[in-house]
């Protein structure tokens, strides 16, 4: 069983940090063009959002079809922070996180009382409302055309280089993964996983299920917001499209494909869905159809996702819980 | 003997049917109170009322004299009441040890920030919870499988695991919903010893069971339910020989039952 | 006053379509406890397949018939190829599958039909009718009465035929229905087929009034879901009533409050209803069996 314990540690436990760190550090050895770096920045950014969503879906067992709403809130915060509140760009990122956290806290309470389809539709509704708000409030947000985002200034230099963004987003992704892994292995993480497996039993043991679900909802919103903010600073531009239902679905697919309840899986899922369309350029027009197909096929054939699926292959009696 | 749990005149209905109708029940420290009755008598509903899963339509519940009626399960746990479940609510995707560690939730510091940042205090907490959990796992005889995934354990082991998990919360009142259901005689015997040990340590135990030998053997007090109402209560002798109890279970006519009872 | 009347007329017209979508949801949900997020795509397929049928030279009625048939094939395929293989999947998996199906269909429609908007010639000819200062399109009447007709027929079928009773039995307890010899799979497949047909018909009826495009299904599904929730996921009549409520709230709020957030009305309704009734308006209480 030593091999399976090692496999579990590597794919499910702390070891996944090693794999991710290795990926971040070693990828620059293989990639060279600016375009490649750009794509990788997108991978790290989406990974961050997906890690957060995975905490909500995979560990807490809730579903959110509107997470792009928080993504966009984070993005627009970095856009609006400097002109509206005279904030420097780097400060508008945490401000956006705080804002999203607050919004999540407020809507989370009523929404998380819902279950199954109702929860799904309520979160979807949230995403749509954000989209509408961003599209309609033209004076504030520039409407469907979006608005400019002031560039990040580090030590007086305007950060535009794709390479530097690679390291920034890669590093932050690792930070996000580290925090998530810590949470999952902690007493709070145990409580959250317990709620997922049996809310009624967890309650009987003193776990305040509603409070923990809200906690995870807020944390996942914070992750999505951070990712959105980073993307906005990187692109220098935001549009309401960032809150589109399709982005929410892409995030969900990344979680599901990579593996629910797997931090490493979150990054794998994000990487696949960002990279595949780049690699299979003939898919260009069929991108949406392809996404839909992946969702269906994953749920039928590989319900636990790629990384947990791989783990099951490598271990004999299923994964042995979080070490 | 200290009365820890007292429930008075509990009542609830579902769709017009009075699932529980004016039932009062009490349990003292160290006592084992068994609730028995034919299927559908309202035993599990009663449990769900007392453990906060359902809100009672009528009646009140007191723990240590404090009115806790209507409190949700997690608050009741804080007041010292916890339970196990008839249909096994094990956390299947965690290991046996982790299951019991969840039971330590009330005694863990809930500092999420420390958890996120993996501070030393969190690690210390983790170790402590694990130690306590392993003690309890040992007590129910599951030490060998402590780190195995709960989903891979056999039924009898899971029944004992649920009890260990409930004990981790250090309850003063423990509701056990059919702890020996589906267990063979040897497993039932092990569970009966565990339950007696729990009561001996001062916990008020309330039990729902179908296994009459277990019930008659270990209960200090038995409450018989039928059609949502309390039929009779008393000690094993009294209940065993009461014709109305036989009638409730077997549905026999009075005369025949009396004849059988006298023959005995 | 005439403005109010106009809003009411529009509200009823779209409301009835939402009701038809809700009906589709309800049928499938009743038979299988799956919320079919691809329901809106059935409406889209009905409309767009007819449009392209006509463009290919097929006469209107035949094109419509073929479109309905095609949609039924798609809906049954959804059941047999996507849902049945998933077996006893947990709810989130089913949600993801039907959403995936919705996106897949939309994606294919995008490539096949393009992203433009299309219209159909109205079934009922003649110009707009003036009523009390408001304008009523004859097509609106067709939409309203057509949908009501479908609902009535469905209700009659459910209550008076053996097949209908089988559907009710399945929705009540699938395992029990199975045990008494009802082929649950067939019943569910039938419910998908009927939902597909109703959706397609709704699309064909509404396309002359509202424009049709490859992505019209998304919002329709959500509004239909709102309607289904309002009317209770149980009855065809409830679905229709729910649809009317959503349609009317939409046009009235667009008219009197703000038309920017017209589409948000349905969501706001959903969120309001759910915050008061976490199990839907007619949901069967939240008592889990433990």
DSSP for A226-288, please give it. Answer: HHHHHHHHHHTEE-GGGG-HHHHHHHHHHHHHH-TT-HHHHHHHHHHHHHHHHH-GGGGGGHH
Tens digits of residue pLDDT in A89-116: 889 999 999 999 999 999 998 889 888 8
| In a domain? residue B184 | yes
| In a domain? residue C6 | no
C163 shares a domain with C48: yes
The 3-class SS string of A71-101 reads HHHHHHHHHHHHHHHCCCHHHHHHHHHHHHH
Q: Inter-chain contact A299–C96, Cβ cutoff 8 Å?
A: yes
Structural domains in chain A, sorted by start:
2-315 (1.10.3470)
Mean pLDDT computed over C189-202: 91
Residues 258-287 of C with CB under 8 A from B: 287
**Which residue of B53, B85, B110, B132 is the best one to mutate when testing the A interface, meaning the one whose CB has the most A CBs within 10 A?**
B110
Out of C184, C215, C246, a domain closes at C215
| In a domain? residue B144 | yes
Tokens for A68?
């792009």
Q: What is the pLDDT of residue C282?
A: 55
Q: Which of A65-79, A281-295, C120-134 has the lowest mean pLDDT?
A: C120-134
C51 shares a domain with C80: yes
Look up the pTM and report it: 0.89
How close is the nearest chain C Cα to the Cα of B128, in Å?
31
| In a domain? residue B88 | no
Tens digits of residue pLDDT in C102-150: 999 999 999 898 888 888 888 777 777 777 777 788 888 888 888 888 8
B240 shares a domain with B136: no
Q: What is the pLDDT of residue B264?
A: 43
How close is the nearest chain B Cα to the Cα of C284, in Å?
10
Question: CB contact, 8 Å: C290 with chain B?
Answer: yes
Residue B188 phi/psi, 5-degree rounding, is: -60, -40
Residues of C in contact with A113 (CB under 8 A): 275, 278
pLDDT at residue B252 above 70?
A: no
What residue in A sits closest to C96 (Cα-Cα)? A295
Give one DSSP letter per residue of B92-134, joined into a string: TTSBHHHHHHHGGGGGS---HHHHHTT-HHHHHHHHHHHHHHH
Residues of A in contact with C91 (CB under 8 A): 116-117
Q: Which residue range(s) make up the domain with B57? A: 3-80+171-263
Tens digits of residue pLDDT in B92-146: 989 999 999 999 999 998 888 888 888 888 888 889 999 999 999 999 999 999 9
C229 shares a domain with C202: no
How close is the nearest chain A Cα to the Cα of B148, in Å?
6
Out of B124, B142, B169, a domain closes at B169
What residue in C sits closest to B88 (Cα-Cα)? C290
Chains with 3+ CB–CB pairs under 8 A to B are A, C
Q: Inter-chain contact A205–B106, Cβ cutoff 8 Å?
A: yes
**Which residue of A202, A299, A302 is the best one to mutate when testing the C interface, meaning the one whose CB has the most C CBs within 10 A?**
A299
C169 shares a domain with C246: no
B223 shares a domain with B213: yes
If you compute the radius of gyration of chain B from its CA atoms, what whole number of angstroms results? Answer: 20
| In a domain? residue B128 | yes
CA–CA dist C130, C144 (Å, integer) = 17
Q: What is the pLDDT of residue B195?
A: 94
Q: Inter-chain contact C290–B54, Cβ cutoff 8 Å?
A: no
Please state the ipTM of this predicted complex: 0.88
B247 shares a domain with B142: no
**Which residue of A131, A197, A285, A292 is the best one to mutate when testing the C interface, meaning the one whose CB has the most C CBs within 10 A?**
A292
Higher pLDDT, C200 or C134: C200
* Residue from the list B102, B104, B166 with its beta carbon closest to the beta carbon of A202: B102
B232 shares a domain with B152: no
C134 shares a domain with C73: yes
What residue in A sits closest to B128 (Cα-Cα)? A187
| In a domain? residue B183 | yes
| In a domain? residue C203 | yes
Q: What sections of C173-263 are H helices per DSSP?
A: 174-179, 184-206, 216-231, 236-256
| In a domain? residue C15 | no
Long-range interactions of B110-118: CB distance < 8 A, separation 24+: B110/A187, B110/A188, B112/A183, B112/A188, B112/A215, B115/A182, B115/A183, B115/A186, B115/A187, B115/A188, B115/A189, B116/A179, B116/A182, B116/A183, B116/A186, B117/A179, B117/A182, B118/A178, B118/A182, B118/A186
Out of C188, C215, C242, a domain closes at C215
B163 shares a domain with B64: no
pLDDT at residue B250 above 80?
A: no
Q: Inter-chain contact B147–A202, Cβ cutoff 8 Å?
A: no
If you compute the radius of gyration of chain C from its CA atoms, what whole number of angstroms results? Answer: 19
CA–CA dist C52, A57 (Å, integer) = 41
Residues of B in contact with A197 (CB under 8 A): 90-94
Residues of B in contact with C288 (CB under 8 A): 53
Higher pLDDT, B258 or C276: C276
C232 shares a domain with C88: no
How close is the nearest chain C Cα to the Cα of B91, in Å?
14
How close is the nearest chain A Cα to the Cα of B74, in Å?
4
Q: Inter-chain contact A321–B83, Cβ cutoff 8 Å?
A: no
Residues of A at the C interface (Cβ-Cβ below 8 Å)? 57, 61, 63, 65, 110-111, 113-118, 120-122, 124-125, 128-129, 132, 136, 200, 245-246, 249, 252-253, 256, 285-296, 298-300, 303
Residues of A at the B interface (Cβ-Cβ below 8 Å)? 178-179, 182-183, 185-191, 193-194, 196-198, 200-209, 215, 261, 317-322
How close is the nearest chain C Cα to the Cα of B232, in Å?
26
Q: Which of A78-87, B159-168, C131-140 has the lowest mean pLDDT?
A: C131-140
C121 shares a domain with C165: yes
| In a domain? residue C12 | no
pLDDT at residue B172 above 70?
A: yes
B189 shares a domain with B142: no
Q: What is the pLDDT of residue B254?
A: 53
Q: Please tell me the total count of domains within chain C.
A: 2
**Which residue of B89, B152, B173 is the best one to mutate when testing the A interface, meaning the one whose CB has the most A CBs within 10 A?**
B89
Q: What is the pLDDT of residue C80?
A: 92
B38 shares a domain with B28: yes
Q: What is the pLDDT of residue B260?
A: 55
Residues of A in contact with B147 (CB under 8 A): 320-321
| In a domain? residue B213 | yes
- Residue B15, SS3 per DSSP: coil
Helix (H) or strand (E) holding B44: helix B43-50
How close is the nearest chain B Cα to the Cα of C290, in Å?
6
Among A289, A251, A286, residue whose Cα is nearest residue A272: A251
CA–CA dist B219, B224 (Å, integer) = 12
Out of B169, B189, B210, a domain closes at B169
| In a domain? residue B91 | no
| In a domain? residue C35 | yes
B250 shares a domain with B187: yes
B175 shares a domain with B249: yes
Q: What is the mean pLDDT of chain B?
A: 88
Asked if C96 and A269 touch (Cβ cutoff 8 Å), the reply is: no
- Residue C103, SS3 per DSSP: helix
Residues of A in contact with C92 (CB under 8 A): 57, 61, 63
Out of B169, B191, B226, a domain closes at B169
C237 shares a domain with C208: no
B204 shares a domain with B157: no
Q: What is the mean pLDDT of chain A?
A: 89
Residues 29-48 of B with CB under 8 A from C: 44, 48
Higher pLDDT, B246 or C118: C118
B165 shares a domain with B190: no
Tens digits of residue pLDDT in A159-193: 788 888 999 999 999 999 999 999 998 999 999 99
Q: Which residue range(s) make up the domain with C271? A: 224-283
C273 shares a domain with C152: no
Tens digits of residue pLDDT in A6-19: 888 888 888 899 99
Burial class of residue A277 (count of CB atoms within 10 Å of its CB; 0-12, 13-18, 19+):
middle
Residues of B in contact with A179 (CB under 8 A): 116-117
Q: Please tell me the total count of domains within chain B.
A: 2
Q: Inter-chain contact B105–A206, Cβ cutoff 8 Å?
A: yes
Q: Inter-chain contact B87–C290, Cβ cutoff 8 Å?
A: yes
B133 shares a domain with B25: no
* Residue from the list A113, A136, A295 with its beta carbon closest to the beta carbon of C96: A295
Question: CB contact, 8 Å: B51 with chain C?
Answer: no
Chains with 3+ CB–CB pairs under 8 A to C are A, B
Q: What is the pLDDT of residue C34?
A: 84
| In a domain? residue C16 | no
C245 shares a domain with C210: no
- Residue bearing tokens 């009533």: C241
pLDDT at residue A291 above 70?
A: yes
pLDDT range class, residue B240, cuts 50, 70, 90: confident
Q: What is the pLDDT of residue C289?
A: 47
Q: What is the pLDDT of residue B118?
A: 86
Residues of B in contact with A203 (CB under 8 A): 52, 72-74, 77
C273 shares a domain with C137: no
C165 shares a domain with C80: yes
Mean pLDDT computed over C14-42: 89
What residue in A sits closest to B151 (Cα-Cα)? A318
pLDDT at residue A318 above 50?
A: no
What residue in B sits closest to C288 (Cα-Cα)? B53
| In a domain? residue C147 | yes
| In a domain? residue C3 | no
CA–CA dist C210, C206 (Å, integer) = 6
């Amino acid at each position: 069983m030593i091999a399976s314990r090692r496999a579990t540690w590597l794919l499910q436990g702390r070891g996944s940090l090693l794999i991710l760190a290795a990926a971040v550090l070693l990828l620059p050895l293989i990639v060279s063009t600016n375009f490649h770096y750009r794509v990788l920045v997108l991978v790290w950014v989406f990974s961050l959002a997906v890690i957060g969503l995975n905490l909500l879906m995979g560990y807490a067992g809730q579903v959110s079809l509107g997470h792009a709403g928080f993504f966009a809130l984070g993005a627009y915060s970095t856009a609006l922070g400097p002109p509206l509140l005279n904030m420097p760009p780097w400060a508008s990122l945490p401000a956006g996180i705080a804002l999203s956290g607050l919004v999540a806290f407020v809507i989370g309470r009523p929404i998380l009382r819902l279950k199954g389809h109702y929860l799904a539709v309520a979160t979807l509704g949230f995403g749509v409302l954000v989209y509408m708000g961003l599209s309609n409030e033209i004076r504030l947000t520039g409407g469907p055309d979006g608005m400019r985002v002031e560039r990040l200034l580090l030590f007086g230099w305007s950060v535009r280089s794709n390479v530097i963004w690679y390291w920034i987003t890669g590093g932050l992704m690792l930070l996000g993964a580290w925090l998530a892994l810590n949470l999952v292995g902690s007493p709070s993480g145990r409580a959250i996983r317990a709620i997922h497996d049996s809310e009624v039993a967890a309650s009987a043991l003193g776990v305040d299920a509603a409070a923990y679900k809200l906690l995870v909802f807020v944390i996942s919103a914070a992750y999505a917001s951070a990712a959105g903010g980073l993307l906005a600073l990187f692109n220098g531009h935001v549009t309401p499209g960032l809150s589109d239902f399709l982005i929410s679905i892409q995030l969900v697919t990344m979680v599901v494909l990579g593996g629910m309840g797997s931090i490493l899986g979150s990054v794998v899922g994000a990487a696949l869905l960002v990279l595949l369309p780049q690699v299979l350029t003939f898919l260009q027009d069929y991108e949406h159809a392809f996404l839909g197909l992946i969702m269906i096929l994953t749920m039928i054939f590989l319900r636990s996702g790629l990384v947990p699926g791989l783990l099951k292959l490598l271990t004999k009696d299923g994964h042995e819980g979080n070490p | 003997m200290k009365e820890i749990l007292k429930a008075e005149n509990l009542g609830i209905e579902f769709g017009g049917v009075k699932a529980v109708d004016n039932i009062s029940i009490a349990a003292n420290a160290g006592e084992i109170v068994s609730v028995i009755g034919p299927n559908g008598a309202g035993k599990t509903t009663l449990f769900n009322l007392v453990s906060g899963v359902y809100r009672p339509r009528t009646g009140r519940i007191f723990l240590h004299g404090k009115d806790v009626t209507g409190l949700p399960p997690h608050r009741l746990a804080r007041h010292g009441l916890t339970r196990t479940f008839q249909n096994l609510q094990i956390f299947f995707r965690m290991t046996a040890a982790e299951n019991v560690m969840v039971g330590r939730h009330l005694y863990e510091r809930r500092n999420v920030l420390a958890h996120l940042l993996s501070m030393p205090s969190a690690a210390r907490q983790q170790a402590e919870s694990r130690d306590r959990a392993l003690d309890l796992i040992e007590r129910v005889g599951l030490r060998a499988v402590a780190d195995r995934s709960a989903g891979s354990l056999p039924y009898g082991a899971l029944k004992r695991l649920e009890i260990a998990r409930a004990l981790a919360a250090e309850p003063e009142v423990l509701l056990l919903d059919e702890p020996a259901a589906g267990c063979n005689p040897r497993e039932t015997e092990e569970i009966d010893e565990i339950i007696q040990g729990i009561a001996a340590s001062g916990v008020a135990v309330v039990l729902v069971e179908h296994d009459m030998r277990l019930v008659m053997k270990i209960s200090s007090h038995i409450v018989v339910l039928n059609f949502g109402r309390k039929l009779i209560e008393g000690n094993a002798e009294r209940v065993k020989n009461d014709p109305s109890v036989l009638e409730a279970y077997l549905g026999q006519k009075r005369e025949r039952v009396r004849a059988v009872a006298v023959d005995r | 006053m005439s403005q109010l009347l106009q809003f009411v007329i529009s509200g009823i017209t779209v409301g009835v379509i939402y009701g038809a979508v809700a009906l589709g949801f309800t049928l499938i949900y009743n038979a299988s406890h799956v919320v079919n997020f691809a329901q809106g795509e059935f409406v889209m397929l009905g409309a767009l397949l007819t449009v392209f049928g006509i463009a290919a030279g097929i006469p209107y009625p035949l094109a419509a018939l073929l479109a309905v048939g095609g949609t039924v094939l798609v809906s049954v395929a959804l059941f047999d190829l996507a849902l049945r293989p998933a077996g006893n999947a947990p709810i989130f998996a089913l949600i993801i599958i039907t959403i995936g199906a919705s996106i897949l269909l939309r994606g294919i429609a995008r490539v096949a039909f393009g992203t433009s908007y299309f219209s159909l010639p109205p079934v009922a000819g003649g110009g707009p009718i003036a009523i009390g200062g408001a304008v009523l399109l004859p097509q609106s009447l067709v939409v309203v009465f057509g949908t009501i007709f479908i609902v009535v027929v469905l209700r009659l079928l459910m209550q008076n035929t053996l097949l209908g009773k089988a559907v009710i039995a399945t929705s009540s307890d699938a395992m029990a229905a199975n045990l008494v010899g009802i082929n649950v799979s067939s019943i569910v497949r039938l419910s998908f087929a009927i939902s597909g047909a109703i959706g397609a018909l709704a699309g064909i009826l509404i396309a002359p009034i509202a424009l049709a495009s490859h992505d019209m299904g998304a919002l329709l599904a959500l509004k239909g879901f709102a309607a289904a929730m309002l009317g209770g996921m149980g009855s065809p009549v409830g679905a229709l009533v729910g649809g009317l409520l959503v349609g009317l709230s939409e046009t009235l709020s667009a008219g009197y409050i703000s038309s920017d957030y017209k589409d948000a009305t349905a969501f706001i309704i959903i969120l309001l209803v759910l915050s008061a009734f976490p199990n839907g308006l007619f949901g069967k209480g939240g008592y889990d069996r433990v």
